[in-house]
A and B are shown apart, each in its own frame.
Chain A
Amino acid sequence: MTDMTIRPDRAPLTVDVLAGPVSRLRKETAIRWFFFSAALVSIGISILIIWSLVNEAWTFISQVDWSVTWGETGWFPRRGLYDMPTLLVASLIVTIVAMFVAGPLGLGSAIYLSEYASRRTRSILKPVLEVLAGVPSVVLGFFALFFISPQLIERIGRNGWLVIGALIVLTYVALVAGWARNLMKREAGTPVSVQVQRILMLTLLVAGALVLVWWVNGVAETADTFAVKRSGQLAAAAVGVGILTIPLVASIAEDALASVPRELREASAGLGARKATTTTQVVLPAAVSGIVAAFIIGISRALGETMVVFMAGGAADASQFTSSPFDGGLTMTAGMASLATGTDSVVGEGLTFQSLYFVGMVLFLLTLFLNVVAGRFVNRVREKY
């Protein structure tokens, strides 16, 4: 009370007082720059990677004799035969088979976890699923080579797979056709989203039919060689990749289902719908973009998986062209891995080394495209709610 010093707020106010201490401003600037440079370095590294990829790939593109990249007997980079269809078709086989494993199982788990599981069951199952996501792919490669290949693929045998494959594909075609029929029945003046869905449905239908033809054809082709013991095959690797992809599909699809507002489920229940009806008629359609995104990201993951296909795909260094999942084959990733490993590393005919980058660039563009598309679908879910 007796202290008569002037309180700060009574002192004459100037801009300097309000400007605050200079040291604090300096500190903030320094912190800002630190984080900016962290971001800059990450981006810089990515750009350098892409640059080196494109640079070496360009050497290949500009110098290669294009006749050896299409229609040759197979992928023999050390002998100068760079048949891209060999790698592309093997990658396609692995991705499709893997998604037939990861799609239904991943979405099924997601639906169970989000719609049916009690809080307790969920708290146990979700971590288990996350552990599965953490399994190193080399472990799965081993599993695919020494268990899936002899015990599952070869034991079921050619006729078994012919039936199983045909059943799966037919179920898929029937489901899509049923959905498509529903969409076609709508009256004129339907919203654009319905038309987009129609196109999507048609694409899926055609794709399904093609897969069916390919499956029957491919399995029939390997009829005579099937019994021969082999060191893995694309199908075994694909199942392994599918198992690896399940947790990813499940967790993204579950996020999409969980983002559907509880009110919609209540409204459906309040109208006398059963749980299964609510799930298929309300929750799944409301989450459809997120689920499509989950599948696309799954595809992208399966396409990029290397270790499992490298170990269990049944081919090293080089491969004949094959369209059968029961032959050994090289995917794009496995082809790159085998080029970059081994005692002689990358030696051979002039462009062998550059072909690695070319394949890498094709793979990069494919996954980039898939991730961008998936991102768009995810954003659509976010916008709606």
Chain B
Amino acid sequence: MVNVTPSVQDALKGIRVDEDATTATDEIAITVPTAAASSTPQDEPSGDDLVFDVSELSVFYGDFRAVRDVNMKIRRNEITAMIGPSGCGKSTVLRSFNRMNDLIPTARVAGNLLYRGVDLYDERVDPVEVRRRIGMVFQKPNPFPKSIYDNVAYGPRVAGRKKGLDEVVESSLRKAALWDEVKDRLQDSAIGLSGGQQQRLSIARAIAVDPEVLLMDEPCSALDPIATARIEELMAEIKAEYTILIVTHNMQQAARVSDRTAFFSVELDEANDRRTGLLVEYTDTAKLFSNPDDERTENYITGRFG
């Protein structure tokens, strides 16, 4: 588990501003046993290698804490999978990485989420700028009711790009392994594509804005096994250029594609008697699936729970 070691935690305590002090100690008290239980010696990513540094992240919907205790360090050019039972908050966490939760009026984030050293929830940060750097592919393929070409060119256009769109469209479609299937009908409506093609189009569309990170929220859940295999192949191919985070219900998929896996679970939150998600274990995929540190992880991956 690449978690905050005691020394880093001390450092964080020091940084923390005073008004957060009470909640902070609260949250740390909950986290410490988890951290202690699963502290494997691991080389700490730092500098350019460290894309996201998440500590003590909680996401609230109104008064309801949907997920708590998220501590993750995410490295450049790696695929990180997030797994767990329904309602464990994995999608919620993913959506906080590019501030998509801002679109939900009651959503609120507490804790630290640093992207290349910058606090994404700093009040001066414009979520639109964040989303241009951290792209997203959603669960359901959702092409705009426009032509294939216009779908892919949408992101660059809204970013103000006017020239060289043809090249961007072609290279994005090529990367998404869709070019050969659609090159002769770029002006056709994207609604006419098959589900698998639509999802690859969504990926091409996300790639076209040239993001640094791709967030994928169960991208294969609406696809058949063949289309799923293509998307997985594609992820392996583009991994060299992007840092990828993928939420998946499919443990085999997590095991196949990811370098690291985060397991989330749901527990009753005594504070308000509701079920809250939490990060249980985050470590090398191989280790998580063969020799997890936490009993809850083991129960889940062996099918005894969830």
Contact = CB atoms under 8 A, between A and B. Distances in A.
Nearest to A274: B128
Contact of B142 (A186, A187, A266): A266
B131 A270 contact: yes
A348 interface: no
B135 A270 contact: yes
A25 interface: no
Interface string A10-26: 00000000000000000
Interface in A262-297: 263-274, 277, 281-282, 285-286
A384 interface: yes
B131 A266 contact: no
A164 to B, nearest CB: 34
B140 A263 contact: yes
Interface in A254-268: 261, 263-268
Sort chain A's interface into a size bin.
20 to 34
Contacts of B202: 267
A134 interface: no
Contacts of A190: 187
Given A270-B138, A282-B144, A119 B105 contact: yes
Contacts of A271: 131-132, 135, 154-155, 158, 205-206, 209
Contact of A264 (B103, B144, B159, B187): B144
Contacts of A273: 128, 154-155, 158
Q: Which residue, of A263, A264, A269, A384, has the highest number of chain B Cβ atoms within 10 A?
A: A269
A127 interface: no
A215 B154 CA distance: 39
B103 A272 contact: no
Contact of B158 (A118, A193, A281, A286): A281
Q: Which applies to chain A's interface (DSSP): helix, strand, loop or mixed?
A: helix
B98 A270 contact: yes
A264 B202 CA distance: 11
Contacts of A8: none
A182 to B, nearest CB: 11
Contacts of B145: 285-286, 384
B128 A272 contact: yes
A191 B187 contact: yes
Contact of B138 (A119, A266, A281): A266
Contacts of B128: 272-274
Sort chain B's interface into a size bin.
20 to 34
Contacts of A191: 147, 187-189
Contacts of B129: 272
Interface string B93-104: 000001010010
A187 B187 contact: yes
Given A270-B136, A274-B128, A285 B158 contact: no
A189 interface: yes
B191 interface: yes
Interface string B160-192: 000000000000000000000000000111010
Nearest to A275: B128
A269 B100 contact: yes
Contacts of A281: 154, 158
Contacts of A118: 105
Contacts of A119: 105
A273 B209 CA distance: 11
Interface in A172-197: 186-187, 189-191, 193
Interface string A46-75: 000000000000000000000000000000
B180 to A, nearest CB: 18
Contacts of A186: 187
Nearest to A270: B136
B16 interface: no
Contacts of A267: 138, 142, 144, 202, 205
Interface in B186-204: 187-189, 191, 202
Contact of B187 (A189, A265, A268, A282): A189
A282 B150 CA distance: 11
A271 B145 CA distance: 16
B217 to A, nearest CB: 10
Given A261-B142, A267-B202, 18 more contacts: A266-B136, A267-B138, A267-B144, A268-B154, A269-B131, A270-B135, A270-B138, A270-B206, A271-B155, A271-B205, A271-B206, A271-B209, A272-B128, A272-B158, A272-B159, A273-B128, A286-B144, A286-B145
Q: 4 tightest A-B contacts by CB? A: A272-B132, A270-B136, A271-B155, A263-B142
